[in-house]
Structures are given as structure tokens and as C-alpha cells.
């Protein structure tokens, strides 16, 4: 039985939530540190639309990052490769730091799984409900292409949005991400 992993891009919205408090004064001032990166090569229908590189906050939320990296690499025999974005929600009214933050989707406390979303505008009312574990470092224009894809009445893309390939990119020296 093939496990199906899905990803959601909540467009015109999304979350930055449950980011545990900074561990140092430097992190508080500059933001969380990227310790590892993953990439997603995306396709809409038959068209390759580009690569998204996400920096992950491994010291801030290590378990979430370890699980996400395992799904991106497929190291456990399954993962995000060839998975579909099952929803693209336009004009979802939220606010927070801004576009590009990556968070786990869930149905409440202790229900994080494999679903995630990427913010496309400022977000806020979901703070404290979702674990923010990364930020788009490259390819926000690719995220915008996904955001602008046509959807049906249930926010399902009319053309399949697929993670055609994905993997891990090592980070030599961790670096802070500004909260913007």
C-alpha cells in the first residue's frame, strides 16, 4: 500500500505559529537559525515550474525538522517525492511575519503529520497552533506560481501540483533568519 503524503499551500495567508522562544539573545534579536535546507522541484500539470529551497530551524524544533528532512529525502522508503499539493487556498485572511514561512498543518494538539503549508502573506491568528519550522530561502516566485494556479470550489488545483523531486542540502554554518 502506497502512503500518500500531501502538502497544502495556503495562499494569501498562512501561518507562523508555535515557534518556541529563542534560546539566545542573538537568536531573539535576529530570528531562528537555519541548520539544514531541503529543496522541492515543483511541476504544475506537465510543466516544471522551478525549485523552492527551504531553510529549516533544526536547533529550535529538532524533531519536526528531522521528520521533515526524512520525508524530503525519502530515507525511510516513503516521502514527499511525487506527492500532490492537495489544496491552494486563496485570500485566506491571516497575518504574521510575512511570506515564505513554513509550518506543519494539524488538526489540533499533538496531531502533526506530514502536511505542511507555506505562507504567502502576513499571518497571525493561528499563532500557537502550528509549529513553524522553516522559511523559503529561494524560489518564492515558484510558490507564487502555485498560489496563482486555478482551483475548484474546494480549493483543489485543477491541474496537479506535484513535488517532482526533493532532497536535503547541507548547511556548513548555521545562520539566522530575520523575522520579517
Instruction: Return the SS3 of 46.
Output: coil
Does 57 map to a domain?
Answer: yes
Burial of 171 (0-12, 13-18, 19+ CB in 10 A): middle
DSSP assignments along 128-154, one per residue: TTS-EEEEEEE-HHHHHHHHTS-B-TT
CATH code for the domain of 158: 2.40.100.10
Instruction: Kindly state whether residue 46 falls inside one of the protein's structural domains.
Output: yes
Higher pLDDT, 164 or 19: 164
Instruction: Work out the average pLDDT over 4-21.
Output: 38
Q: Is residue 1 part of a domain?
A: no
* Any domain includes 160: yes
How do residues 56-65 score in pLDDT, each as one tens digit? 999 988 988 9
| Residue 45, in any domain of the structure | yes
pLDDT tens per residue across span 135-175:
989 999 998 899 899 999 988 999 999 999 999 999 999 99
Neighbour count for residue 65 (Cβ, 10 Å): 21
- Considering the domain boundaries, does residue 69 fall inside one? yes
Q: Are 18 and 96 in contact (CB under 8 A)?
A: no
Residue 148 placed within a domain: yes
Domain count, the chain: 1
Please give the pLDDT value at position 93: 37
Amino acid at each position: 500500500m502506497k502512503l500518500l503524503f500531501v502538502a497544502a499551500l495556503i495562499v494569501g495567508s498562512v501561518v507562523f505559529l508555535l515557534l518556541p522562544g529563542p534560546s539566545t539573545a542573538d537568536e531573539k534579536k535576529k530570528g531562528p537559525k537555519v541548520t539544514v535546507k531541503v529543496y522541492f522541484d515543483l511541476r504544475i500539470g506537465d510543466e516544471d515550474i522551478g525549485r523552492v529551497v527551504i531553510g529549516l530551524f533544526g536547533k529550535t524544533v529538532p524533531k519536526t525538522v528531522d521528520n521533515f528532512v526524512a520525508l524530503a529525502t525519502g530515507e525511510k522508503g516513503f516521502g514527499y517525492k511525487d506527492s500532490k499539493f492537495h489544496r491552494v487556498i486563496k485570500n485566506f485572511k491571516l497575518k504574521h511575519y510575512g511570506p515564505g514561512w513554513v509550518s506543519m498543518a494539524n488538526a489540533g494538539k499533538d496531531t502533526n503529520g506530514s502536511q505542511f503549508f507555506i505562507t504567502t502573506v502576513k499571518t497571525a491568528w493561528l499563532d500557537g497552533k502550528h509549529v513553524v519550522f522553516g522559511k523559503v530561502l529561494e524560489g518564492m516566485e515558484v510558490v507564487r506560481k502555485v498560489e496563482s494556479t486555478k482551483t475548484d470550489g474546494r480549493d483543489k488545483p485543477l491541474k496537479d501540483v506535484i513535488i517532482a523531486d526533493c532532497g536535503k542540502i547541507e548547511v556548513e554554518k548555521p545562520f539566522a533568519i530575520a523575522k520579517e
